[in-house]
Amino acid sequence: MTNQLSAILISSLHNNSFIRLILSSPDDKKGELNKVTVRIVELKAKHTLSFLYTYKTKTVTKNFGIEEGVVHSEKLFGDTFTMCVIFTTEADHSFRRTKKGNLLYYSSKAKHTAGEFSLEHNLKKKRMISAENSAWLEMLGVTVRGKVTEGMSGKFRQINRFIETIDDLINSSSLKDKKEIAVYDMGSGKGYLTFAVYDFLTNGMKIKSDVTGIEQRDDLIAKCNNTAKECGFTGLKFSQGQIADSNFTHCDILIALHACDTATDDAIFKGITSQADIIIVSPCCHKQIRKQLDINNALKEITRHGILEERLAEMTTDALRALILEEHGYDTKVFEFITDEHTHKNIMITAVKSKEIPDAARINERIHNLKGILGIKKIYLEELSKKNPKLL
């Protein structure tokens, strides 16, 4: 099967249909390397394969000649990763290596077209949401006549960074082959990212999308609904409500950015109970755990200083959230979404529904041990889960 992978890769490179290759789902789940993305670039008038290694805390780029790069791709798939997708203009080719060593292959309709990706090295990254010809960006004040408004460049970069994150998560989940996707954005605010997600899914990925923004403020709901109507976004709507009171049974992607304190936990809980394939949260105001910290060991030195106690509470809260998501069958990542040049609320937790059955007892033991070290009695998200018999 790896011969087939090499044959498809070589063929796509020779006939100029190759777009990119993504290696993911590493054998070592606890290792530092998460993903490798391979694209073709032009260096000194010569085609080269550029490998972007995505680690938990950094990215590294290495360039290989075509033949050497093909061999290296095959080796990475055989030794390190269990998933490999080759994107071409003709078809998308997916390979998966099972725990028993079996190799599975299937092809699907091409998601990308020729000319989407430049061969020039170190060019400015192609924006997934373009500033040009976007009515919603203009109506929300991000652009004027196709140019980013002064003071909104940070917001525009944030929009595109978020869409890049969504794209990567979809490609690593069971949603990548779905024809319809339902999204809930909890606490959608002014709707920048809600509109971006709908635009990307509907017009970028050509997927039938049902996107709902949940927001408390009536004026923002009215403005966003009017904007959606004027843009002809028939699958996008905004509704009034609070996260904890929202009622829906089906959700493919759940988003909650900067929901305050336990509202983030309410959103995660909604995602878990609705069996969302992807959950994305960017937490804010970690009050619940900080009030409970009761440390009687060497870590007490940290809590002598208010700012360090606050950061310890933040890290602990988000670590526990990630563990609880893993306990319920999700693969999680916690990372810096954007630099704190734009906002200090820059930590993001992403969760993708795993195909593997979690060792819930072992994960629960890890949660219990962490709580014990820090003197924590209750976790709000954990209490929510215990009240739902379906999650026990």
pLDDT, tens digit, 9 for 90 and up, residues 228-284: 999 999 999 999 998 888 888 889 999 999 888 888 999 999 999 999 999 999 988
Name residues whose C-beta falls within 8 Å of residue 299's C-beta, 6 or more positions apart in sequence: 312, 373, 374
End-to-end, the C-alpha distance of the chain in Å comes to 40
Tokens read off for 116 = 């989407």
Residue 339 one-letter amino acid: T
pLDDT of res. 2: 65
pLDDT band at 122 (very low <50, low <70, confident <90, very high): very low
pLDDT of res. 222: 96
pLDDT band at 286 (very low <50, low <70, confident <90, very high): confident
CA distance 140 to 284: 24
CA distance 224 to 202: 17
Q: Are strands 103-109 and 91-97 parallel, antiparallel or unpaired?
A: antiparallel
- Whether the pTM exceeds 0.85: the reply is no
User: Which contiguous run of DSSP H or E holds residue 254?
Assistant: strand 253-260
DSSP code of residue 120: B
Q: Are strands 46-55 and 278-284 parallel, antiparallel or unpaired?
A: unpaired
CA distance 18 to 13: 5
- Tell me the average pLDDT across 5-20: 89
Number of H helices and number of E strands within the chain? 11, 16
Q: Is the pLDDT of residue 144 over 60?
A: yes
Percent helix, strand and coil across the chain, each rounded to 5? Answer: 40, 30, 30
pLDDT of res. 345: 59
CA distance 367 to 319: 9
pLDDT band at 61 (very low <50, low <70, confident <90, very high): confident
Tokens read off for 40 = 């073709």
CA distance 18 to 265: 42
Tokens read off for 244 = 């904890």
pLDDT band at 123 (very low <50, low <70, confident <90, very high): very low
pLDDT, tens digit, 9 for 90 and up, residues 151-190: 898 889 889 989 989 998 998 899 988 999 999 999 999 9
Give yes or no for a contact between 24 and 172, defined as CB atoms under 8 angstroms apart. yes
CA distance 105 to 97: 9
10 Å CB burial of residue 334 (0-12, 13-18, 19+) is middle
Q: Is the pLDDT of residue 99 over 90?
A: no
Neighbouring CB atoms inside 10 A of 133's CB total: 9
pLDDT, tens digit, 9 for 90 and up, residues 328-386: 999 999 888 764 444 455 789 999 999 889 999 999 999 999 999 999 998 888 888 87
Residue whose token pair is 């002014």: 190
- Tell me the average pLDDT across 212-229: 95
Percent of all residues in the chain with a pLDDT value above 70, rounded to a whole number: 92
Q: Is the pLDDT of residue 124 over 80?
A: no
pLDDT of res. 383: 87
Give yes or no for a contact between 103 and 93, defined as CB atoms under 8 angstroms apart. no
User: Between vectors from CA 164 to CA 32 and to CA 108, what angle results, nearest 5°?
Assistant: 90
Q: Is the pLDDT of residue 11 over 70?
A: yes
pLDDT, tens digit, 9 for 90 and up, residues 301-338: 988 898 998 989 899 999 999 999 999 999 999 888 76
